[in-house]
Amino acid sequence: MLAFSPGALALGPLAGVSLADIKGAFDGKLFPYLFALQKAQVTGSVTVVSAATARAAAPGTVTFAAVNGGIERIVPPLAAELSPVRVNAVAPGAIDTPWRSFLSDDAKETQFAAAAEGLPAKRIGRPDDVADAIRYLIGSTYVTGTILPVDGGFTVS
């Protein structure tokens, strides 16, 4: 399993995001996956981490959508190219992790409450939800080239 993140870099409306931050987002997430996969001698399975922003139309997430969309688009061709190594991705939605440490506790609670209300699962995800999905993909020897949403229904609601 590989996981890279530049944090909340380049979050916000595109007009207010610097080109340096956009490049930093790609340099901090997509490019490390590509570099690691070039250099690694992988057997069995690779699971990368994208995000629900790749398939959502949430204002202020254009850069995240581009970076995570890039990650999701590399999964199928890598699955074909690296066969018999299996390549998959998980795409988490709102998960209660330190990633949102840039928010105050009150702002995070308000944001999470509003997000949970709009989700079919009616709750914010936990790190164990993502870990369970990764374990599933690693152990499922007949699954490859797949993006597994772990977003409480965010991308279908």
- 120-130 mean pLDDT: 94
8 in a structural domain: no
Higher-confidence residue of 100 and 140: namely: 140
Cβ within 8 Å of residue 31, ≥6 positions away: none
- 114-130 mean pLDDT: 91
57 in a structural domain: yes
> Distance (Å, rounded) from C-alpha 48 to C-alpha 72?
9
Which residue(s) pair with 88 in the sheet? 47
Supply the DSSP symbol for 125: B
How many residues are present in the chain? 157
> Distance (Å, rounded) from C-alpha 41 to C-alpha 100?
33
Q: How confident is residue 157, by pLDDT bands cut at 50, 70 and 90?
A: low
pLDDT at 13 over 80: yes
6 in a structural domain: no
- Nearest CA to 28 among 59, 49, 52? 49
Residue 117: CB atoms within 10 Å = 9
pLDDT at 57 over 80: yes
Cβ within 8 Å of residue 126, ≥6 positions away: 95, 96
96 in a structural domain: yes
Q: How confident is residue 126, by pLDDT bands cut at 50, 70 and 90?
A: very high
pLDDT at 146 over 70: yes
> For residue 86, what is the domain's CATH number?
3.40.50.720
How many helices (H) and strands (E) the chain has is answered by 5, 3
Which residue(s) pair with 86 in the sheet? 45
103 in a structural domain: yes
Total domain count for the chain?
A: 1
Weakest-pLDDT range from 38-42, 69-73, 142-146: 38-42
1 in a structural domain: no
How high is the pLDDT of residue 35? 94
Range of the domain at 29: 14-150
